[in-house]
Structure 1
Amino acid sequence: MTEDSTRSARDTVLGLWQALSRRDWDALKTFLSDDCLYVDMPVPAVAARGPEDIVKRLKIGLAPLAGYENHSGLLIADGEDVMYEHSETWTFETGEQGVLRFVTVHKVADGKVTLWKDYWDMNSLVAFAPPGHFEALANADTSWIFDATGLV
């Protein structure tokens, strides 16, 4: 592990989050390895694998929002391992708004994120999201689902 590899991993993760904050789906894909595993840790059975499916998964929750912003926080990098404490402000078309707090764990190899695990509290989203949000999730395309339960 070198200082350069740590800096590279850090820069990759920050680039990913900047692309996601812009909801620039094509740019986001460039930061993900072909077999990258994305897991929302509250529900590991509903993970996604690979750039295309990860973007499909993220769009379900984020694309319909009137506003989405990632707020930077503490980022710790050690070689290929990067932990990022941050928050997101979600604003719904119906006016509801709230902040979700995350700790995200990434693994980076050869300049690409190979593992992305989001740790957050589902109850915080339930507290401010309109009921229609969860109804839309129940009816969304689920072709991207990858069960990562035994892998994380």
Structure 2
Amino acid sequence: MSADPADIVRGLWAALARRDWDAVTPFLADDCIYVDVPFGPTLAARGPVDIVKRIKVGFEPLTAYANHDGLLVSTGDDVIYEHSETWEWPTGEVAVLPFVTVHRIRDGQIILWKDYWDSATLIQNAPPTWMSDLASADTSWVFDATGHI
């Protein structure tokens, strides 16, 4: 794996686009914190196993997922990635979600991952049951990152 922070982030997103969970985890440090910013730090995840569990909550119900590359800016160990994602559900709904993602790299692995996006875009385009499905999903991954980010 390359030590270049930009290459590390590109590698993570290539693995995510394939939904290859085994390929995702090596990019994440054992103490990596993932924060889905619209939901706040109290619903963060920490560590590769729990971060993958968290991401699967959103991705597993989808019949198709695509990541659309955009601007990637790297300065030292910090990488900002502007991109969009297309989510498709088996019931026919489609959402195109613009993101800005911030990553911090240490010793060749991601130690912080924050996704900034507009949750209203997803809620307006997801199936009507999406919020209730989300509320009943596995939450064993929850880590309160308040004060850690």
24, 27, 30: which one pairs with 1:28? 24
Q: Distance in 2 between matches of 1:59 and 1:96?
A: 18
Any idea what SS the aligned residue of 1:82 has? strand
Q: Deviations over 1:112-131 (max 9, x none)?
A: 00000000001000110012
> How many residues align structurally?
147
Superposition pairs for residues 1-152 of structure 1, below 5 Å?
Answer: 8-43=4-39, 44-152=41-149
- TM normalised by structure 1 equals 0.93
- TM normalised by structure 2 equals 0.95
Q: Deviations over 1:9-58 (max 9, x none)?
A: 00000000000011000100010000100000111210000000000000
1:111 CA displacement: 1.1
Q: Distance in 1 between matches of 2:147 and 2:105?
A: 21
* Cα RMSD for the two superposed structures: 1.2
- The letter for the 2-side match of 1:95 is G
Unaligned runs of 5+ in 1: none
- The letter for the 2-side match of 1:69 is A
- The letter for the 1-side match of 2:30 is D
Determine what percentage of the aligned residue pairs are the same residue: 60
1:135 CA displacement: 1.4
Q: Deviations over 1:46-79 (max 9, x none)?
A: 0000000000000011011000010000000011
Q: Distance in 2 between matches of 1:66 and 1:93?
A: 6
- The letter for the 1-side match of 2:61 is P
